[in-house]
């Protein structure tokens, strides 16, 4: 495996359902080099979200391998999978809703707090990010 690749997917399959089986992914192979951009297009129901959920370690494949930075995430313990998901991946969710009980600053602070950053530091970073997009935090 080469350092050149950030993502390498081999023969990835994801089957849903117990009675009637839905093969959402069927033998997907994919290599993405560092610095490369890849767009995945296809009709509704063709498996785009299912594939991204595998790369984001939000779901487990039925078979196949997913190497992120040369390490197979399908062979990791749950703890290591969580750590990789939280610390090493930048995943932009397709659907995202702000938490209505929190203000904008608290919403931006939330993932920082979950990742273990101290509250005072999280507040500083979140304020700076909101300032950058022109949101006055007061
Ligand atoms: N959690 C699930 N349970 C059962 N079937 C699913 C689930 N998620 C996706 N599917 C099915 O897998 C196929 C691919 O879906 P999806 O990845 O959402 O496609 P796309 O994002 O390209 O529209 C569809 O047939 C969909 O109904
Ligand atoms: Mg989708």
What distance in Å separates the CA atoms of residue 14 and residue 87, rounded to the nearest whole number? 25
**Is the pLDDT assigned to residue 3 strictly greater than 80?**
no
Ligand 2 ion: nearby residues, β-carbon < 5 Å: 48-49
Token pair listed for 62 = 């039925």
pLDDT tens track for 55-101? 999 999 999 999 999 999 999 999 999 999 988 888 888 888 899 99
Element (H, E) at 12: strand 5-16
Q: Whose CA is nearest to atom 9 of ligand 1?
A: 50
Please report, to the nearest 10 degrees, the dihedral formed by the alpha carbons of residues 44, 48, 54, 59 taken in order.
-10
Q: What is the pLDDT of residue 2?
A: 57
Nearest to 9 by CA among 27, 24, 21, 22: 27
Distance from the first to the final alpha carbon of the chain: 50
How many angstroms does the Cα of residue 94 sit away from the middle of ligand 2? 8
Region(s) of the chain under CATH 3.40.50.300? 5-87
The C-alpha atoms of residue 43 and residue 103 are separated, in whole angstroms, by: 37
64 Cβ closer than 6 Å to some ligand 1 atom = no
Please say whether the structural domain 5-87 has been given the CATH code 3.40.50.300.
yes
pTM: predicted TM-score of the whole model, two decimal places = 0.84
Q: How many Å apart are CA 81 and CA 94, to the nearest integer?
A: 21
């Amino acid at each position: 495996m080469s350092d050149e690749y950030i993502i390498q997917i081999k023969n990835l399959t994801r089957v849903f359902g117990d009675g009637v089986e839905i093969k959402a992914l069927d033998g997907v192979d994919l290599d993405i080099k560092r610095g490369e951009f890849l767009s995945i297009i296809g009709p509704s129901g063709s498996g785009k979200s299912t594939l991204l959920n595998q790369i984001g370690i939000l779901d487990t494949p039925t078979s196949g391998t997913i190497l992120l930075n040369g390490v197979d995430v399908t062979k990791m313990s749950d703890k290591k999978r969580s750590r990789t998901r939280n610390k090493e991946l930048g995943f932009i969710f397709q659907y995202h809703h702000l938490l209505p009980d929190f203000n904008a600053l608290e919403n931006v602070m939330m993932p920082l707090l979950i990742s273990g950053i101290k509250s005072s530091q999280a507040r500083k970073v979140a304020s700076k990010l909101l300032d950058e997009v022109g949101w006055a935090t007061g």
